[in-house]
Structure 1
Amino acid sequence: MNPLLEKFDTPFETAPFDRIANEHFLPAVKEAIQLAKEEIARIKEERLPDFTNTVVALENSGEKLSRVASIFFNLNAAETNDTIQKLAREISPLLSAHGNDVLLDEELFDRIRQVYQQKEQLHLSTEEDRLLEKTYKSFLRNGALLHAAGKERLREIDQQLSQLGLRFGENVLKETNAFELVITEEKDLEGLPEGVVEAAAQTAEEKGKAGSWVFTLAFPSYVPFMTYANNRELRKMLFMAYTTKAAKGDALDNQEIIKEIVRLKDERARLLDYPNYAAFVLEERMAGDGMQVLEFLHDLLEKARPKALAEMEELEAFARERDGLEKLQKWDVNFYAEKLKMKKYEVDDELLKPYFELNRTIDGVFLTAEKLYGIRFEKNSSIPVYHPDVTAYEVKDEQGAHLAVFYADFFPRAGKRNGAWMTVYRGQKRQQGNEQRPHVSIVCNFTKPTKTKPSLLTFNEVTTLFHEFGHALHGMLANGTFESLSGTNVYWDFVELPSQIFENWCYEKDCLDLFARHYETGAPIPQQLIEKIKKAANFHQGYQTVRQISLGLLDMAYYTTDPTSIDDIFAFEREVMKPTELLEPVPGSLMSTSFSHIFQGGYAAGYYSYKWAEVLDADAFELFLEKGIFDPETARSFKENILAMGGQEHPEILYKRFRGRGPETTALLKRAGLLA
């Protein structure tokens, strides 16, 4: 029997990871597609189309397929191997073809259109109206009105794009895993903290190179080396390896894949009568159109660039005075920035890390959520997990009733892509009186424990944990009828609000006092350290803001430019990045070929949304600061109007309901120290 096709006989119907084998996926996908096709056929057999027998029935169809696909693709991101990657290349086209079969089905679309045309007479609730609007538009945006040849071409494009995205991600992962900086001389470790050296020795042992120290391109290895290693040549070597991923002209090079992705997305948009892919994407965003996004980014750049340039001048002067450095290079920035931050604020990661032991920090995140929203987390070892590093929790509401399942996966490994993300194994919905509660997960790459030390987080890793947990709260507290409008199924430039606002609690004493204790002595983090964290929060905010803007502009350039004019990826990126360059570009380095957000993930023409949502989060958190960061009324309002609502209403309406007005940029500029 195939466990993916049976009813999941597990706690809360969680994925039976302990019974699933790789060979189960392809047959399960094929069978689930067949089941979904039968459900669509039954919808078309109904006599007169109405909202329930057509729109709601379509919304609820394909449940088994979406379950199987979510398990498979989540594993492909967090615990992949050659077999799973090969399966992904087979499964992706099947899913793409099935999606097109549904959205290009003329008979089905005709039924949807009939319901849509009676919209005014149906007396739908706000949420039902939103579902009808979204369903109708999804058919239009996927070619329902195209002629036969256009529909056929759209199918071909979607098949090719699904394969290209997979290949892009595989190449980045292979490049990340292939590089090792093997150090055999102790002198080359100078400047590195003891815990970082111990972790590198442990990595060397795991890779069969005992007696040496191995550094990799995984964040918990790369970032500390770039921050602390005195050996400038080795910093340069690691920097070049990191910034030339999939850009070396070999079998793992992504340059031609990028050109093809951009060309196909542009062709797809034009087929649907949009001027470019960005216009297609932004129609369904708060920003509305590319012009507004570019105005937003350039306006921020105008405010941030002078501060960023001043920061780099100060850093260069500091490096010259400290070490006689003639010219600051990109592989010097982290190193000298950390030294300068220590000099100015007497705070650095090594000073803070002992107070942020991973397990205690996780408890702190849980406590913060409990104080705000009344929810509790209980470890549940009877819930199957896909790797021994993963911990599963049952989440309960204020009354002790089951609310969600939460998976936490924190350490790097060869089968996991870099970075951090939140994902969903099962969404929330209500169907025929039954409530389906969500199963959500956060996946990170934090510093692993060593033989002598537990996992101690940098402050940046603490904010990353809070960020991803903010997304998880959006999923766990979902309270809607329809899964496609529930949880994180919101406009892409709104989805980062719940995650980014949650980072703000990391800087507040009342929150840090819940969990920030020295891992050896148990002493709470001293008040003066908290003050220093807050003072240092603006350190290099100009530089960080300009960097985010540069990525947003690069993303927009790829999806607004005529793709036939993009001949040389190096030259294209250099030209786009020119207004945001703060230091001399490094020959050979390239961001685009590992920019997974926009070529593999869902951020194409959407990377600006991180900064867009920062405006919202700074403005929203101002209210918490005014009322108290654990003020029950403000927390209740944020939970009910933002977190629980998902995509049931337009985000602007939801935001105004919470804030009492539209968002203002002042709070962000003030927080980032960008106000004159």
Structure 2
Amino acid sequence: MKKALLSPVALAVLLAACQPDTASQANQDAAHQKTAQQDTTQLQRTSQQNGDIANHNPLLAESSAPFGVPEFSKIKVEHFEPAFDFAIVQNQQEIDDIANSSKAATFENTIEAMEKSGQALNHVATVFYALNGTDTSKEMQGIAKKMSSRLSALNDDIYLNAKLFARVKSVYEQRDSLDLRVDQKTLLADSYQSFVRGGANLSEVDKAKLRDLNSQLSKLSVQFGENLLAETNAFELVIDTKDDLAGLPEDIIAAAAVTATERGHDGKWVFTTHRPSKNPFLTYAENRDLRKALYEGYIQRGDNDNANDNKKLASKIASLRYQKAQLLDYKTYADFVLEKAMAKNPENVYGLLDQVWPAALAQAKNEVADMQDMIKAEGGDFTLAAYDWWYYAEKIRKARYDLDAAQTKPYFSLDATREGVFYTAEKLWGVTFKERQDIPKYHPDVRTFEVFDKDGSSIGVYMTDYYVRESKRGGAWMNSYRKQQKMFGENVKPIIYNVLNYPRPVGDAPVLLTFDQASTLFHEFGHAIQGLLSDGYYQSQTGTSLPRDYVEYPSQVMENWMMEPEVLAQFAKHYKTGEVIPQTLIEKIQAAGKFNQGFATTEYMAAALLDMKWHTLETATEQDADAFEKAAMDEIGLIPQITPRYRTGYFSHIFSGGYASGYYGYIWSNIYDADTWQVFSQNGIFDQDTASGYREHVLETGGTEDPMIMYRRFRGQDPKVWPLLERRGLLTDEQLKTMKAQ
């Protein structure tokens, strides 16, 4: 489970790095570290106590906006450093007061006091790192570098404070005699474990070594993310001959023309390595050489032997992480991380991956054979390459299922898909959304909604930020400007946001989504609804404060509703005619649901296994990243037609995010998702008893207790693996029958 204390510091270091897909990135080591958030009462107290400093800096003064949303228009880049300076000093004083108290240590004056500390710093860090991820600049990146070292040092100051640890240990040793609620017991246990894992038991010499390692890691993680953003923005495929656009849909061509104009190539077309540009080009462009150029531009990011090369950074990070694990008496960094995950250790992770990998790889090889047959039938005399996969997979999908991805896009406009998500939330939990124009926005692209519960009471704010821009990092994630909590005597309402990277609208036409893009919107909303429906006391335990291999579970469950005819009928309407998506097209989508799953599962698992390889290293020797990656992929037998979803040079999830030794978590969470969907499928997708149980035991509870205990309360049993394998089409009928009987 997550670390309960971690003040604002660890949060800030983590957010500086970047947030995951979810999650989203962000999406944010929400699973393991205390999330930095604002509490209005505490900020007001800060303002009153510190006079001019607080009143003249909008990051320290109380917001007068509805719901206490940060007043973004008042916040300038030059406000951040002074606000950090002030809040760090204040947090240091708060911690010193707790550590040096003459009173005997109690849960209230030690554990709970630490939980309440650092609110000003939490707020400053939250706003800064949210904006650095969504609308960065060179100035913001400079501050991130500077703060990474300072916040890492402050984090170490807390966890290596002998007096403070003595008080925490004293309370922990009395735990059996204390009259504590379940969430308080969890907070106490996590606080104590966080100190131990933070080096509190080390010698003074080793504490100094740990400080140095943490400082280096924080700097390198920030640099990795900056290099990747620069690499992604630098590449462009410029096309000046219309014939080279053959096969591409008109909306993609129009978007490429807009991109060209923005980049100074008027009258031409530009494609980039951002997914909304790259994916459709690889799927539809008939020019094989250009597909190759764009694909290689994508997979070579961070691997170009230039100023933004990430290979040495990644190897250095892996080495430092191993040294840190050794210092803390763990065999590998993966052992250190996984101790707090659902998986518990690397052996259990490999145990799951080894169950899925053979079937996924075998299916992928079958898919290669199908594509090679098509190439031959068309008169081609070349061997299928990785940059051909999307193109031929789409052709086979169309031939086999009479389904062209372009057929579905007119029915999935961005606004309508968002309304489909809202419809689903209302049917399940009675939650409704009302757009507000009077709430501050951090960027003009943002749309803001007040969220109401089934009884009509207001429960929080939901922001959406959907369009790609060069100042925004890639991917999709959820995070919060403030988490729900009650620890200052009132129920503080959450401020949640989703970030995605869809193409901007061109002219008057709406943004049309592919099926996968629409599914991603549902996925990220699954994180958001958990943040919005959270009902906890301590802010470090609310929302998505869950282990990495469990936090993706609610988001993956949410994707299931999008495919249901009742839901599709509500939002999947042709943007021109208003016609509901035909049942025949729905049936085609469902029939093709297991298509290309060999590829999808294999490319994902290759990345998950690469992550584990980097973090189960048992040496501090820095590796040749290219050779290391090749050896790792050769060992598992990855075929040349598939590249890992993330190669080392652009694997930001693990080298500048919170997913180190945790990228496997998506498929681990998939077990809970598939098992949960069995219940909804059996009882009815909007069955109120099932929905209420899911809300009570999964969405509301956050990290207040062991997630497995909470899952069992909802499901009545441990999750089964076979629903996941069946869903992906990776089992024969006989294998499925055997697994169901076990």
| Structure 2 counterpart of 1:156, one-letter code | D
Q: Whole-Å Cα distance in 2 between the matches of residues 347 and 360 of structure 1?
A: 21
Q: Whole-Å Cα distance in 1 between the matches of residues 714 and 379 of structure 2?
A: 51
1:40 aligns with 2:95: yes
Secondary structure of 2:464's counterpart equals strand
Q: Whole-Å Cα distance in 1 between the matches of residues 642 and 66 of structure 2?
A: 53
Q: Whole-Å Cα distance in 1 between the matches of residues 107 and 504 of structure 2?
A: 52
Which residue, out of 129, 133, 138, partners 2:194?
Answer: 138
State the Cα distance separating 1:587 from its structure 2 match.
11
TM-score by length of 2: 0.89
Residue aligning to 2:135: 79
Residue aligning to 1:664: 720
Structure 1 residues 144 and 509, CA, compared in 2 at 3 Å: closer, same or farther? Answer: same
Q: Deviations over 1:83-128 (max 9, x none)?
A: 1001111111111111111111111111110000000000211111
Unaligned runs of 5+ in 2: 1-55, 733-742
User: Is the CA contact (8 Å cut-off) linking 2:606 and 2:638 kept in structure 1?
Assistant: no
Secondary structure of 1:124's counterpart equals coil
Structure 1 residues 582 and 147, CA, compared in 2 at 3 Å: closer, same or farther? Answer: closer
Structure 1 residues 587 and 623, CA, compared in 2 at 3 Å: closer, same or farther? Answer: closer
| Structure 2 counterpart of 1:17, one-letter code | F
Structure 1 residues 586 and 318, CA, compared in 2 at 3 Å: closer, same or farther? Answer: closer
Q: Whole-Å Cα distance in 2 between the matches of residues 398 and 544 of structure 1?
A: 38
Secondary structure of 1:423's counterpart equals strand
Q: Whole-Å Cα distance in 1 between the matches of residues 147 and 640 of structure 2?
A: 44
Q: Deviations over 1:427-456 (max 9, x none)?
A: 111124211111111110112211152100
1:8 aligns with 2:8: no
Residue aligning to 1:368: 424
User: Is the CA contact (8 Å cut-off) linking 1:616 and 1:663 kept in structure 2?
Assistant: yes
Secondary structure of 1:144's counterpart equals coil
User: Is the CA contact (8 Å cut-off) linking 2:323 and 2:620 kept in structure 1?
Assistant: no
1:51 aligns with 2:128: no
| Structure 1 counterpart of 2:570, one-letter code | L
Residue aligning to 2:83: 28
Identity %: 43
Q: Whole-Å Cα distance in 2 between the matches of residues 258 and 563 of structure 1?
A: 14
User: Is the CA contact (8 Å cut-off) linking 2:320 and 2:620 kept in structure 1?
Assistant: no
State the Cα distance separating 1:153 from its structure 2 match.
1.2
Residue aligning to 2:354: 298
Structure 1 residues 282 and 674, CA, compared in 2 at 3 Å: closer, same or farther? Answer: same
Of 457-466 and 544-553, more deviation after overlay is shown by 544-553
Which residue, out of 267, 291, 299, partners 1:243?
Answer: 299
| Structure 2 counterpart of 1:311, one-letter code | E
Secondary structure of 1:445's counterpart equals strand
User: Is the CA contact (8 Å cut-off) linking 2:428 and 2:688 kept in structure 1?
Assistant: yes
TM-score by length of 1: 0.98
User: Is the CA contact (8 Å cut-off) linking 1:103 and 1:144 kept in structure 2?
Assistant: yes
Structure 1 residues 364 and 586, CA, compared in 2 at 3 Å: closer, same or farther? Answer: closer
Q: Whole-Å Cα distance in 1 between the matches of residues 324 and 564 of structure 2?
A: 47
Q: Whole-Å Cα distance in 2 between the matches of residues 294 and 72 of structure 1?
A: 37
Q: Whole-Å Cα distance in 2 between the matches of residues 204 and 323 of structure 1?
A: 34
| Structure 1 counterpart of 2:525, one-letter code | F
Which residue, out of 144, 155, 158, partners 1:102?
Answer: 158
1:655 aligns with 2:711: yes
Q: Whole-Å Cα distance in 2 between the matches of residues 345 and 224 of structure 1?
A: 19
Q: Whole-Å Cα distance in 2 between the matches of residues 448 and 503 of structure 1?
A: 23
Residue aligning to 1:63: 119
Secondary structure of 2:509's counterpart equals coil
User: Is the CA contact (8 Å cut-off) linking 1:262 and 1:563 kept in structure 2?
Assistant: no
Which residue, out of 584, 587, 593, partners 2:640?
Answer: 584
State the Cα distance separating 1:382 from its structure 2 match.
1.4
User: Is the CA contact (8 Å cut-off) linking 2:606 and 2:644 kept in structure 1?
Assistant: no
Which residue, out of 253, 266, 275, partners 1:210?
Answer: 266
Q: Deviations over 1:207-238 (max 9, x none)?
A: 22211111111111111101000000000000
Q: Whole-Å Cα distance in 1 between the matches of residues 176 and 372 of structure 2?
A: 64
Q: Whole-Å Cα distance in 2 between the matches of residues 11 and 392 of structure 1?
A: 12
Residue aligning to 1:615: 671
Q: Deviations over 1:49-105 (max 9, x none)?
A: 111111011001001111110111111111101110011111111111111111111
Residue aligning to 1:195: 251
User: Is the CA contact (8 Å cut-off) linking 1:546 and 1:580 kept in structure 2?
Assistant: no
State the Cα distance separating 1:404 from its structure 2 match.
1.4
State the Cα distance separating 1:42 from its structure 2 match.
2.6
Q: How does 1:154-165 map to 2 (within 5 A)?
A: 154-165=210-221
1:355 aligns with 2:404: no
Residue aligning to 1:335: 391
Q: Whole-Å Cα distance in 1 between the matches of residues 315 and 419 of structure 2?
A: 45
Q: Whole-Å Cα distance in 1 between the matches of residues 179 and 546 of structure 2?
A: 24
State the Cα distance separating 1:581 from its structure 2 match.
5.0
Q: Whole-Å Cα distance in 2 between the matches of residues 247 and 98 of structure 1?
A: 33
| Structure 1 counterpart of 2:269, one-letter code | W
Residue aligning to 2:474: 418
Question: In the comparison of the two structures, how many residue pairs are matched?
Answer: 676
Q: Whole-Å Cα distance in 2 between the matches of residues 252 and 585 of structure 1?
A: 27
Q: Whole-Å Cα distance in 1 between the matches of residues 667 and 190 of structure 2?
A: 26
| Structure 1 counterpart of 2:455, one-letter code | Q
State the Cα distance separating 1:146 from its structure 2 match.
0.6
Structure 1 residues 452 and 229, CA, compared in 2 at 3 Å: closer, same or farther? Answer: farther
State the Cα distance separating 1:419 from its structure 2 match.
0.9
1:595 aligns with 2:651: yes
1:624 aligns with 2:671: no
Q: Whole-Å Cα distance in 2 between the matches of residues 164 and 62 of structure 1?
A: 25
User: Is the CA contact (8 Å cut-off) linking 2:544 and 2:702 kept in structure 1?
Assistant: yes
Secondary structure of 1:377's counterpart equals strand
CA RMSD of aligned residues (A): 1.5
Structure 1 residues 89 and 566, CA, compared in 2 at 3 Å: closer, same or farther? Answer: closer
Structure 1 residues 588 and 523, CA, compared in 2 at 3 Å: closer, same or farther? Answer: closer
Structure 1 residues 247 and 473, CA, compared in 2 at 3 Å: closer, same or farther? Answer: same
Residue aligning to 1:469: 525
Of 577-586 and 131-140, more deviation after overlay is shown by 577-586
Residue aligning to 2:35: none
Q: Whole-Å Cα distance in 2 between the matches of residues 542 and 240 of structure 1?
A: 22
Q: Whole-Å Cα distance in 2 between the matches of residues 281 and 253 of structure 1?
A: 26
| Structure 2 counterpart of 1:544, one-letter code | A
Q: Whole-Å Cα distance in 2 between the matches of residues 42 and 402 of structure 1?
A: 37
1:533 aligns with 2:563: no
Unaligned runs of 5+ in 1: none
State the Cα distance separating 1:326 from its structure 2 match.
2.4
State the Cα distance separating 1:534 from its structure 2 match.
0.9
State the Cα distance separating 1:585 from its structure 2 match.
6.6
Secondary structure of 1:434's counterpart equals coil
Q: Whole-Å Cα distance in 1 between the matches of residues 437 and 625 of structure 2?
A: 48
Of 5-14 and 34-43, more deviation after overlay is shown by 34-43
State the Cα distance separating 1:302 from its structure 2 match.
2.0
Q: Whole-Å Cα distance in 2 between the matches of residues 187 and 89 of structure 1?
A: 45
State the Cα distance separating 1:575 from its structure 2 match.
1.2
Which residue, out of 231, 241, 246, partners 1:185?
Answer: 241
